[in-house]
Amino acid sequence: MKKSLPKLLLATVVLALLLTGCGAAATAPESNDADTDISINNRIINNTNEAEPFFTTAVAYPLSEDEQNALKLEKSDRFLGENILEYTNEKGETVLRIYSAPIETSENAITHNENGDYYGKGKFIEKILPVLWSAENPISVTQQSNYAEIMPADISEYSSERVQTINMFGQICDSVIYKNVFGEGIDLTCSFTSFGVNMEIVFNEHPKQNTYQIKLKLPGLVPDTGSPDYILFKAALDEVGARSILETPLAADKNGNWSYANSVRLTDKDSKTGTYTVEFTIDEVFMSNEATTYPVAATHSVSLYKVKQPDTSVYENTGDEAGHYLSPYMLVGDSTIKGEAWTYVRYETLYGMDISPAKVISARYVFRNLFTSPKEVTIGAYAVTADWCSRNTRWFNRPTNNENPISQVTVQKASDYSLDITEHFKEMIKNRNKKDEAEYSVRNSFMIKSNTENSSLIFPSGDGGLFSPYLEVVLMK
């Protein structure tokens, strides 16, 4: 259920967010009025923008002091894990929020460094957006010896402007815009995420072509192109160790119509420098559809890999080889572009937490629906009764599950929703160290799917760095 903040407090929260990156909690409104609904149109915020933001908690950031006051929560300083936040509610009960993604505790904001470039030093990763973007002055993402550099596909030099924007999901972002990168009037808007850089392109009208290119330098890494949702770069001869992720774009128009039938591919490589030419293709059927209302935004991120809690989607029609465990999005429904779609969820951090089932008051899985659906869709959570591996689970070998849902929720608007899994969670933690013996366990956990025919929704996972679903557990004091 969507949570609302008082208007005066919301204004204070939004003002604070204008000084930070995109990971904050205020977003644009849910209005269907084209004059006020700016959640899909990436545009510069100005004094004439009277859009009223709403509140989301599906981001892996601590609540601000104002947000804590509004929700009557007080943050604890106790460290329980890099993906766990602990609060106390007004009843003195402990409220744990266990995120799928590691929590970014810094502001992750844009500042100017000594060279005049735009700089972001997050808890995990350092990011630089150059004032003049070129092959000699790349966008860079660095974590110790692991790094990625992003350059224009041509030899041009592109000037920049630092602005506040609203991205296609409605998040207020501290951004840098590079002008006319992909043609006259087609700019590249960059903002920082917890794990890298988000890149958004806005097409104000149907473009002459539906492809665009960048160059990506990743020395010493080899690509794994087995997923349609991303290209994964690994260290040579390393079967498991991911280093960097290049996402397939997601496209959406100003009314919230969206398409994930897009692609990313590597067209060339300079072996001496480890530089790839990357080509993105936006779904031409969507771009030319009469129902698509411009402007259309296409968004993707370049990230350095950070270990997260395992989840994976399985799709009826993507074949036995295609993996989805690092996808930034979860398709849910029986009529998605990939066929019927289910998502399996596990919070392995629970293995190290000594939670007594008797102290559990409630447990709920909180997720976000990114775009308003034409109709109501019932989403159910189901107990999984067999072991599964996030990297290797596919539709054909998906684990067994109970036929009856643990709980269900009706989803339609772009908003936060939750599924009550309290009784199943108690069984999970009671059996958390019985990986093979117990039917209900942390290892098996639960999955979500749609119970409405002809449905197709898209939720964010914890992998994109912009959002993160979480498990909220309330414990007796």
DSSP letter string, 3-54: B---HHHHHHHHHHHTTS-TTSSEE------TTT--SSS--B--TT--PPPE
Of 119-128, 452-461, 463-472, least confident by mean pLDDT is: 119-128
Q: Is residue 350 part of a domain?
A: yes
Is there a single domain that holds both residue 89 and residue 157? no
Q: Is residue 463 part of a domain?
A: yes
pLDDT at 20: 47
pLDDT at 236: 76
pLDDT at 240: 56
Q: Please tell me the distance from the alpha carbon of residue 45 to that of residue 38, in angstroms, as a whole number.
A: 10
Q: Please tell me the distance from the alpha carbon of residue 260 to that of residue 248, in angstroms, as a whole number.
A: 8
Is there a single domain that holds both residue 249 and residue 152? yes
DSSP reduced 3-state for 87: strand
Instruction: Give pLDDT tens digits for 145-192.
Output: 889 999 999 999 999 999 999 999 988 889 999 999 999 999 999 999
Q: Is residue 254 part of a domain?
A: yes
Residue 53 has pLDDT above 80, yes or no: no
Instruction: Give pLDDT tens digits for 298-325.
Output: 999 999 998 889 899 999 998 888 889 9
Is there a single domain that holds both residue 75 and residue 116? no
Residue 285 has pLDDT above 90, yes or no: yes
Specify the pTM: 0.89
Residue 4 has pLDDT above 80, yes or no: no
Q: Is residue 136 part of a domain?
A: yes
Residue 65 has pLDDT above 70, yes or no: yes
Is there a single domain that holds both residue 442 and residue 335? yes
Query: Comparing 424 with 318, which gets the higher pLDDT?
Result: 424
Is there a single domain that holds both residue 215 and residue 343? no
Assess whether the previous peptide bond of 295 is cis (omega < 30° from 0): yes
Residue 45 has pLDDT above 80, yes or no: no
Residue 105 has pLDDT above 70, yes or no: yes
Residue 348 has pLDDT above 70, yes or no: yes
Is there a single domain that holds both residue 458 and residue 390? yes
Among the candidates 251, 276, 306, a domain finishes at 306
pLDDT at 47: 32
Question: Sorting pLDDT into bands at 50, 70 and 90, what band is 2?
Answer: very low
Residue 426 has pLDDT above 90, yes or no: yes
Q: Is residue 48 part of a domain?
A: no
Is there a single domain that holds both residue 95 and residue 115? no
Instruction: Give the mean model confidence (pLDDT) for residues 277-293.
Output: 97
pLDDT at 107: 65
Question: Sorting pLDDT into bands at 50, 70 and 90, what band is 54?
Answer: low
Question: Sorting pLDDT into bands at 50, 70 and 90, what band is 239?
Answer: low
Instruction: Give the mean model confidence (pLDDT) for residues 118-132.
Output: 90
pLDDT at 242: 84
Q: Is residue 153 part of a domain?
A: yes
Residue 48 has pLDDT above 90, yes or no: no
Is there a single domain that holds both residue 354 and residue 290? no
What's the mean pLDDT when you consider all of the chain?
87
Of 161-170, 234-243, 406-415, 448-457, least confident by mean pLDDT is: 234-243
Question: Sorting pLDDT into bands at 50, 70 and 90, what band is 78?
Answer: very high
Instruction: Give the mean model confidence (pLDDT) for residues 380-403.
Output: 94
Indicate the number of domains in the chain.
Answer: 2
Which range marks the domain in which residue 402 is found? Answer: 61-99+328-475
Is there a single domain that holds both residue 292 and residue 394? no
Q: Do the beta carbons of residue 372 and residue 412 sit within 8 Å?
A: yes
Question: Quick one: CA torsion of 443, 449, 451, 457, rounded to 10 degrees?
Answer: 160
- Beta strands (DSSP E) in 337-376 are 339-345, 360-369
pLDDT at 49: 35
Question: Sorting pLDDT into bands at 50, 70 and 90, what band is 106?
Answer: confident
Among the candidates 306, 337, 364, a domain finishes at 306
Among the candidates 306, 338, 367, a domain finishes at 306
Is there a single domain that holds both residue 187 and residue 332? no
Is there a single domain that holds both residue 125 and residue 189? yes
Cα torsion angle, 317, 320, 322, 326, sign: positive
Cα torsion angle, 329, 333, 338, 344, sign: positive
pLDDT at 15: 36
Q: Is residue 12 part of a domain?
A: no
* CA angle, residues 191, 197, 203, in degrees to nearest 5: 60
Return the percentage of the chain with pLDDT > 90, whole number.
Answer: 71
Q: Is residue 340 part of a domain?
A: yes
Residue 124 has pLDDT above 60, yes or no: yes
Nearest C-alpha neighbor of 275 from the set 136, 129, 133, 132 = 136
Question: Quick one: CA torsion of 80, 417, 254, 212, rounded to 10 degrees?
Answer: 40
Question: Sorting pLDDT into bands at 50, 70 and 90, what band is 263?
Answer: very high
Is there a single domain that holds both residue 91 and residue 131? no
